[in-house]
Amino acid sequence: MKILLVDDEVELVSAMAERLQLRGYDADWTDSGDDALVMARTCSYDLAVLDIRMPKISGLELKRRLFELCPSMKFIFLSGQGSESDFKEGCAGGVCYLIKPIRIEDLVARIEEDATHGGDQ
Partner 1 sequence: MTPQDSRQESREDLRFFGTVSASVSHELKNVLAVINEAAGLLEDLALMAGRGTPLDPERLARAATTILGQVRRGDTIVRAMNGFAHLPDEPEDATHAGTDLAAILNLAASLFTRMADMRQVSLRLGDCAPAMSQANPFDLIRLLHSAMLAAFGTMGRGDTLTVSLAPASEGTRLVLSPSGAPLALPDDPGFNALAARLDTVAALDDTGSLVLAIRR
Identified binder of partner 1 from the candidate list 94, 101, 116, 117, rule CB under 8 A: 101
Position 108 contacts partner 1 (CB under 8 A): no
Q: Which stretch binds partner 1 (CB under 8 A): 14-22, 26-34, 37-45, 110-118?
A: 14-22
Q: How far is the CB of 98 from partner 1 (least distance, A)?
A: 10
Can the peptide bond before residue 55 be classed as cis, meaning omega within 30 degrees of 0?
A: no
- Is 43 a binder of partner 1 (CB under 8 A)? no
Nearest to 98 by CA among 71, 120, 68: 120
Footprint on this chain of partner 1 (rule: CB under 8 A) = 9, 11-12, 15-16, 18-19, 22, 53, 55-56, 80-81, 100-102, 104
